């Protein structure tokens, strides 16, 4: 006697036995009970989820001798003939082998005759998307107004290939992938009926490989049983199907979370030796990091329903070791690697370097904390306590600004006989007060202090302009003009925009107490008279900055490079 595979042997015979498609079976049962059964149905969805089975159940429910009924008896002649596939009034056609218009013409002519012994003549066309356009067009009129004794049921995995004129004449039912837990439950029931020895991990591995398809899962069990002789556990499934150990995937993730790139590479090499596809490893890790994020933000077990219980416990243990920001960044980097793998032939090299990068990521600093640190650093650089160290380990030696006093002009103005002795109070009440530049006896030091105060005022108003100005220097200050020179073209372009000049001139008016025109020009290197760090000192500052965790995080997220900026400026004249 020939062997009947599990997928055929245990095909559902009632709507209640259909797994994971309650939204379809409930609608069909209610339609049959209320007598509101359409003349044409379209079942669409992934392979192996019950489309053809549901079509046969609908034919059985309509033609049962005790019906139409949502619960066919499965004992009458009509039910048994439909189950065996030899019912004369239920015509099941493979669309892939009946693509021509002549086949459809023969079909439409045959359905005009009343059924031989059943209540309805049911036409089931599987893989209907394979029909040609001419065949679809030949079917249109009959499909729109069929005889009262005819029901059409179409099934397809590629609904986008079906003409809209066909779709508009059918009731559409979308079948979904079967959830992993329901697959495991169904496989456990089949194993009990077959007398197999199974464990939870083995069934979970088969269900995951089936990817939501019950028919695929039943075929995989057949294959494992043929290899092992009746035992279905994690080891036999891995050996029979050649799939990777799920624990190996968890160990790779554990190495990444522990920031151990060497261990992550060793585990990836072991998986490669067992033939584990790097693309599959990338997708599995991507899915795993997604589970870690979900476990981090919620304790709701429904959100992790696609995982077996023993893996849910392991996921929650791993997610407790890292912050939500860290896990989201790991997911983003893994997603970027998945895109790169699809464009290259060197998949193993990409996954290796990705694992090294993932395992080398420092902890992410929350945005509000990073902003607070940057604000504190800016305060120190612009006039904080000289004894407080900066994040890079250097000391800020700049003195605190003096109290507001009248500002003196440059030597150039003194020679021309024009001198400003007081600062008129032109600041409006609604405008925040700005620190006035101090008046010092040395005009060079006076301009330097005024420049520092102006930078501080810009920082409070527009941080992006502040960083651009920090790369330049004050060239000259006259009663009507504030001249600034900047070395880098991108900053010059940004500062000379109309909006930027308007902001700078408004700040200058409020700071200096008079209307000033801000002129930004492209400048060269700083003169030799300016005190600047020696090359060795600059390199030391760069190394210290690159070693700072905050700087590392900013560079990783935003990109860029570390550059040192001189702390002194060229004096005018």
pLDDT single digits (tens) 189-243: 998 988 888 888 888 888 888 888 999 999 999 888 888 888 888 888 887 887 7
Within 8 A by CB and 6+ apart from 344, the residues are 350
CATH topology for the 180-241 domain:
Helicase, Ruva Protein; domain 3 (1.10.8)
Out of 44-48, 131-135, 273-277, least confident range: 273-277
Fold of 6-174: Rossmann fold (3.40.50)
Nearest to 8 by CA among 154, 229, 222, 152: 222
Q: Higher model confidence: residue 337 or residue 547?
A: 337
Tell me: pLDDT of 58 over 60: yes
Residue 536 has pLDDT above 50, yes or no: no
Q: What CATH number is given for 246-359 in this structure?
A: 1.20.272.10
Q: Per-residue DSSP letters for 411-460?
A: HHHHHHT----S------TTSPP-PPPP--SSHHHHHHHHHHHHHHHHHH
Domains 180-241 and 379-412+434-558 share a fold: no
Q: Within a 10 A sphere around the Cβ of 565, how many other Cβ atoms?
A: 13
- Given a contact cutoff of 8 angstroms between Cβ atoms, the answer to whether 253 and 354 are in contact is no
Residue 3's CB: how many other CB atoms inside 10 A?
8
Identify the weakest region by mean pLDDT among 94-108, 461-475, 541-555: 541-555
Please report the sign of the dihedral spanned by the C-alpha atoms of residue 232, residue 233, residue 238, residue 244: positive
**573 CB neighbour count, 10 Å cutoff:** 10
**pTM for this model (two decimals):** 0.58
Which of 1-10, 81-90, 286-295, 300-309 bottoms out in mean pLDDT, i.e. has the lowest? 300-309
Segments making up each domain of the chain, as ranges: 6-174, 180-241, 246-359, 379-412+434-558
Percentage of the chain lying above the pLDDT 90 cut: 18
Statement: residue 73 has pLDDT above 80? yes
Question: Which segment of 73-77, 187-191, 418-422 scores lowest on mean pLDDT?
Answer: 418-422
Say which CATH superfamily domain 379-412+434-558 falls into.
DnaA, N-terminal domain (3.30.300.180)
Which tokens belong to 316?
Answer: 């929650």
Residue ranges in 195-323 assigned as alpha helix (H): 200-210, 214-228, 234-241, 246-257, 261-273, 278-297, 309-319
* 97 phi and psi angles, rounded to 5 deg: -105, 0
Q: Is the per-residue pLDDT at 496 higher than 70?
A: yes
Average pLDDT in the 519-543 region? 53
- CA gap 201, 216 in Å, rounded: 18
**Model confidence at 324: pLDDT above 80:** yes
């Amino acid at each position: 006697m020939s062997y009947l595979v599990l997928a055929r042997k245990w095909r559902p015979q009632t709507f209640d036995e259909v797994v994971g498609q309650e939204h379809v079976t409930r609608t069909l049962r209610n339609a049959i009970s209320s007598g509101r059964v359409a003349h044409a149905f379209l079942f669409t969805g992934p392979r192996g989820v019950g489309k053809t089975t549901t079509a046969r159940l609908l034919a059985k429910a309509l033609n049962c001798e005790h019906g139409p009924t949502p619960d066919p008896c499965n004992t009458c002649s009509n039910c048994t003939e439909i189950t065996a596939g030899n019912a004369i009034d239920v015509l099941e056609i493979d669309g892939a082998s009946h693509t021509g218009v002549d086949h459809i013409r023969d079909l439409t002519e045959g359905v005009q005759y009343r059924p031989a012994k059943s209540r309805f003549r049911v036409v089931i066309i599987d893989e209907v998307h394979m029909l040609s356009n001419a065949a679809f067009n030949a079917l249109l009129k009959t499909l729109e107004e069929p005889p009262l004794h005819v029901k059409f049921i179409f099934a397809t995995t590629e609904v986008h290939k079906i003409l809209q004129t066909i779709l508009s004449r059918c009731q559409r039912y979308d079948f979904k992938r079967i959830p992993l837990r329901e697959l495991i439950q169904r496989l456990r029931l089949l194993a009990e009926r077959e007398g197999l020895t199974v464990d939870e991990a083995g069934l979970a591995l088969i269900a995951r490989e089936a990817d939501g398809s019950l028919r695929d899962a039943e075929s995989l069990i057949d294959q494992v049983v043929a290899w092992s002789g009746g035992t279905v556990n994690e080891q036999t499934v891995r050996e029979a199907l050649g799939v990777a150990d799920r624990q190996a995937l968890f160990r790779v993730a554990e190495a990444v979370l522990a920031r151990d790139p060497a261990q992550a590479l060793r585990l990836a090499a072991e998986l490669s030796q067992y033939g584990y596809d790097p693309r599959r490893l990338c997708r599995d890790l991507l899915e795993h990091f997604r589970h870690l994020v979900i476990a981090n933000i919620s304790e709701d077990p429904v959100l992790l329903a696609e995982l077996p219980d023993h893996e849910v416990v392991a996921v929650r243990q791993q997610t407790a070791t890292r912050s939500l920001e860290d896990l989201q960044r790991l997911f983003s980097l893994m997603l970027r690697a998945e895109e790169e793998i699809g464009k290259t032939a060197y998949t193993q090299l990409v996954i290796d370097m990705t694992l090294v990068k993932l395992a080398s990521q420092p902890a992410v600093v929350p945005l509000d904390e990073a902003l607070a640190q940057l604000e504190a650093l800016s305060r120190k650089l612009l006039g904080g306590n000289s004894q407080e160290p900066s994040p890079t380990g250097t000391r800020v030696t700049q003195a605190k600004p003096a109290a507001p006093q009248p500002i003196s002009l440059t030597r150039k103005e003194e020679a021309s006989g024009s001198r400003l002795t007081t600062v008129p109070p032109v600041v409006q009440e609604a405008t925040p007060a700005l620190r006035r530049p101090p008046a010092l006896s040395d005009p060079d030091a006076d301009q330097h202090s005024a420049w520092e105060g102006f930078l501080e005022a810009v920082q409070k108003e527009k941080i992006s302009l502040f960083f651009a100005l920090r790369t330049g220097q004050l060239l000259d200050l006259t009663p009507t003009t504030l001249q600034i020179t900047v070395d880098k073209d991108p900053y010059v372009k940004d500062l000379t925009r109309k909006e930027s000049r308007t902001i700078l001139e408004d700040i200058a008016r409020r700071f200096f107490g008079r209307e000033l025109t801000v002129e930004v020009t492209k400048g060269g290197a700083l003169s030799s008279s300016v005190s600047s760090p020696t090359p060795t000192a600059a390199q030391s500052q760069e190394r210290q900055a690159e070693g700072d965790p905050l700087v590392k995080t900013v560079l990783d997220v935003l990109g860029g490079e570390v550059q040192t900026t001189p702390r002194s400026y060229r004096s005018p004249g």
